[in-house]
Amino acid sequence: MPEGPEIRREADRIERVLTGRTLVHVELTLPHLQPFATSLIGTTVTSIDTHGKALLTRFSDGRTLYSHNQLYGKWYVCRRDRPPATRRSLRVGLHTETHSALLMSASTIELLDADALAAFPPIARLGPDVLSAALSWRDVAARLNEPDFAGRSLGALYLDQHFIAGIGNYLRSEILFAAGLHPAERPRLLSRSEIGALARATLVISQRAYATAGVTNREPWIARLKRQGLTRRHWRFAVFDRAGAPCHACGATIERIEVGTRRLYLCPGCQPSRPVVSRPK
């Protein structure tokens, strides 16, 4: 499933062809949305926002189209006279005079006014967006110390969209590695400096993934691996999907474990497991 950085990049592509432009044709194929398609014709797309893994297409009449790709959804951006060659099922078609944004195969789509959007459970229950310009590392540190989150293992917490929205499986592994913390650790047992390091890593790694189309590894390591002739698959991540390979930092063998029925990768040298003791000073 795409994570926050991938959804934000998808939003950027849609934004370039829709924002500020008037819709001349709209297709909404899900039965509960079909009656509203005509009412969107003539509106202007004011912005394409994201919150976690949800994409929010906002219209000039105050309504917002909420969509979530889940496992199979995919947005296509194209010229109106050059539709994509795909066997996917159309769910949403937003057409200007020159371009189209087409959502295929997604199943979670709603058209909501401002009040309904604010109360919409999939949005109302989300934590702050990991890529929000308003989110600072101090905000992340404060959330780590909140009673609802402080007692949970990092491995479980970092997939909980109520904590921070937009973090998924690969970001979880990469963030914990960057912070040097084992996934069994709990925020309440971390020192202040460890909380700070984790909070900073949360933002740095997520922003790096957005800027680089999903690459979270460190530049010196990437450069070294490229000189060896290795492909993107081998240098994209520091630990994720690298079970059995040597750690770029210490040479220890990367391990794969299961946390919350999802795979997680770690370096036992850089992220040692520690006995549960009282919180360090």
75 pairs with which residues across the strands?
103
83 labelled catalytic: no
16 labelled catalytic: no
As given in the structure block, the two tokens for residue 258 are 């299961």
End-to-end CA distance of the chain: 39
Exactly one of 5, 6, 10, 53 is catalytic; name it: 53
Exactly one of 21, 152, 256, 262 is catalytic; name it: 262
Is-contact 197 187, C-beta < 8 A?
Answer: no
Residues 141, 254, 222, 168, CA torsion sign: negative
281 labelled catalytic: no
Count Cβ atoms within 10 A of the Cβ of residue 168 and give its class: 0-12 exposed, 13-18 middle, 19 or more buried. Answer: buried
262 labelled catalytic: yes
What is the SS3 string spanning 4-36? HHHHHHHHHHHHHHHECCECCEEEECCCCCHHH
Count Cβ atoms within 10 A of the Cβ of residue 273 and give its class: 0-12 exposed, 13-18 middle, 19 or more buried. Answer: exposed
Is-contact 91 68, C-beta < 8 A?
Answer: no
Catalogue the active-site residues. 2-3, 53, 262
